[in-house]
Amino acid sequence: MSSPWIPRALREAPVLDLARVTPAARPKTALLINPFYPKDPHASFGKHVLTPSLALTSIAGATPEDWDVRYWDENLLQGTPPCEPFPQVVGITVHLTFAQRAYELAAWYRARGAKVILGGLHVLSCPEEAAPHADALAIGEGAQIWPRILRDIDRGELQPTYRGSYRVPYRNDPAPRRDLLPRRSFLTTTSLIATRGCHNRCGFCYLATDGLAMPYQMRDVEQVVEEFRADRQPYAVFTDNNLGSRPDYLRSLCQAIRPLGVIWSAAVTIDVTDDPSLVREMALAGCTGVFIGFESLSGANLDDAGKKTPSPAEYKSRVGILHDNGIQVNGSFVLGFDHDQPDVFARTVNWIEEARLECATFHILTPYPGTPLFRSMEAGGRMLHKNWNLYDTAHAVFQPKNMTPEELEAGYSWCYERLFSHTSIWRRRPADWRAVVPYLAMSYLYKRSNWFWHLLIQHRLTGPVWRPIVESTRRRHLRFRRRLEAQTDSHEPKRAGTVVSAGV
């Protein structure tokens, strides 16, 4: 099977000019960088510009007022990070799939006199690997650590390692600096986080990483609503691991958002449908899409992973509860579990079509370093290599139990090819005729327009192109909400015609 086409700008990082001479570092200037990573040719190239990561904007929000801070995301295709004025401090977030790029950037800036701070999940899980590439490591909650690091730099007392605790009340963190973001580069700049952590501790999830103690915490509802209001966007994405871990909190949050007349999407687990009245509250508050980690249609796989979830036999009926409330579903599926046979690919996609999921994402099971899954695979001699560049959930980095690595990768590719086909898109169309045209517009722009996504990104047209669709969705949802409010039976509302989902 040939690989899909992917433009060079989306598969190769900008070239660093090793011979470039830079000016002396300007005191009290900081640059925060999100490094480039190659895009998956099977998925939508627009996935990474739907909404910005909160990690660096949150750290920017914690920067002391006497410091000048800038933000740079290499994935926005604007070239190499800036160096004029040359920063005194460079903070780089590190994920295992772009660790090599992060280290290249660190070396470039350090060679020219900047102090480089590395943070992020990969630094937490592999501090010994990251340490030689940095002047200091930030391990744990970055917003707590960052002001201390800058103070120590001012005093000439920078320490090699700083640790922050996720047990400090989350409500105390400052608001992210969204004003640093290029608004035209994203579908929405309103990425929000109301809660931290998850009631699940799946063995393959990064939340199970050794040393990551992240109890479930909630911010004050008023804080979240104020951030939503302040960014003046009609659509927001909640980046919480699981917004629905505390149903009582989610209900209060929905009741507070409802008067804003906006729309939003979030990641939840399927057990949010335990209480259909809560799903109705989400819809009335403007929720138009959810991202749900179904992970597998095999109960044995879910048991092995330690995931607490309703039986897969109930998934379809529970998706129906969300659809009945006008909420689209982006399902996430992991391929390559030990109970997966070669027929898992066709069975999964057939179920997605039968349940009419508006969108789906696929991931090859990937043992992240520091997780129980990684330890188990390593102990069993099943790890194929430790080339972190390929730990992107698009490559098989371990020996599957019931197929070859090549079969697993081919099946993964086939799932996306089938999902993005004209036939599958049509089979998954909404039951409500009013939703069909908007759904098709979204599907073809998001899923079948990879040939021009890099042009939108390079010319900062993502926001302008998507804005009419988002506003149309918001207005359509408000009309649906009025119909929903009029229903006497909250368990059987009319179907809606909405567009924006958790994956779009």
pLDDT digit string (tens) for 386-417? 999 999 999 999 999 999 999 999 999 999 99
Helix H, strand E, coil C: the string for 473-489 is HHHHHHHHHHHHHHCCC
What is the share, in percent, of the chain residues with pLDDT greater than 70? 92
Identity of the amino acid at 65: E
How much is the pLDDT for 502?
A: 34
Q: What is the DSSP string of 425-466?
A: HHHT--SSHHHHHHHHHHHHHHHS-HHHHHHHHHTT-HHHHH
Cβ(133)–Cβ(90) under 8 Å?
no
What is the share, in percent, of the chain residues with pLDDT greater than 90? 72
495: pLDDT confidence band, cut at 50, 70 and 90? very low
Environment class of 205 (CB within 10 Å of its CB; exposed 0-12, middle 13-18, buried 19+): buried
Instruction: Note the pLDDT tens digit of each residue in 433-469.
Output: 888 888 898 888 887 888 889 999 999 999 999 998 8
- In a 3-state reduction of DSSP, which class is residue 291? strand
- Asked, as a colleague might, if the bond just before 85 is cis with ω within 30 of 0, I would say yes
Cβ(90)–Cβ(53) under 8 Å?
no
Query: Which token pair is 466?
Result: 């998507």
Cβ(140)–Cβ(117) under 8 Å?
no
pLDDT of 171 > 80? The answer is no
**Where do the H-state alpha helices sit in 62-125?**
99-110, 121-125
Residue 291's DSSP bridge partners are 267, 330
How much is the pLDDT for 497?
A: 42
Instruction: Note the pLDDT tens digit of each residue in 80-101.
Output: 999 999 999 999 999 999 999 9
How much is the pLDDT for 258?
A: 96
- In a 3-state reduction of DSSP, which class is residue 227? helix
How many other C-beta atoms are found inside a 10 Å radius of the C-beta of residue 362?
A: 25
Residue 290's DSSP bridge partners are 266, 329
- In a 3-state reduction of DSSP, which class is residue 314? helix
Query: Which token pair is 300?
Result: 């044995």
* Average pLDDT along the chain: 90
Q: What whole-number distance in Å separates Cα of residue 139 and Cα of residue 495? A: 46
How much is the pLDDT for 174?
A: 86
How much is the pLDDT for 490?
A: 46
Rounded (5°) CA angle 266-268-269: 160
Which comes out higher in pLDDT, residue 67 or 45? Answer: 67
How much is the pLDDT for 173?
A: 82
C-alpha separations of 221 from 93, 141, 227, 228, 349 in Å: 28, 21, 10, 11, 38
Contacts of 79 (CB under 8 A, 6+ apart): 14
What's the rounded mean pLDDT across residues 137-149? 92
Instruction: Note the pLDDT tens digit of each residue in 239-280.
Output: 998 999 899 999 999 999 999 999 999 999 999 999 999 999
How many other C-beta atoms are found inside a 10 Å radius of the C-beta of residue 233?
A: 24
Q: What whole-number distance in Å separates Cα of residue 455 and Cα of residue 450? A: 10
How much is the pLDDT for 131?
A: 97
pLDDT of 501 > 80? The answer is no
- In a 3-state reduction of DSSP, which class is residue 139? strand
Cβ(105)–Cβ(193) under 8 Å?
no
- In a 3-state reduction of DSSP, which class is residue 354? helix
Which domains are seen in the chain, by residue range? Answer: 8-170 (3.40.50.2300), 190-486 (3.80.30.20)
Find, among 138, 85, 104, the residue nearest to 36 by Cα.
Answer: 104
Widest distance between CA atoms in the chain? 71
- DSSP β-ladder status, 87-93 and 26-34: parallel
How much is the pLDDT for 207?
A: 63
Contacts of 252 (CB under 8 A, 6+ apart): 221
Q: What whole-number distance in Å separates Cα of residue 307 and Cα of residue 301? A: 9
Find, among 89, 93, 83, the residue nearest to 35 by Cα.
Answer: 93
Instruction: Note the pLDDT tens digit of each residue in 180-225.
Output: 999 999 999 999 999 987 665 665 665 656 656 667 888 999 999 9
Cβ(171)–Cβ(226) under 8 Å?
no
> What strands lie across the sheet with 191-192, from one edge to the other?
191-192, 235-238, 263-268, 287-295, 328-335, 359-364
Q: What whole-number distance in Å separates Cα of residue 339 and Cα of residue 196? A: 31
> E-strand spans in 166-306?
191-192, 195-196, 217-218, 235-238, 263-268, 287-295
398 DSSP 8-state letter = B
How much is the pLDDT for 215?
A: 74
C-alpha separations of 318 from 10, 246, 322 in Å: 37, 18, 7
Instruction: Note the pLDDT tens digit of each residue in 288-345.
Output: 999 999 999 999 999 988 888 899 999 999 999 999 999 999 999 999 999 999 999 9
Tokens 């998507």 found at:
466
Q: What whole-number distance in Å separates Cα of residue 412 and Cα of residue 305? A: 20
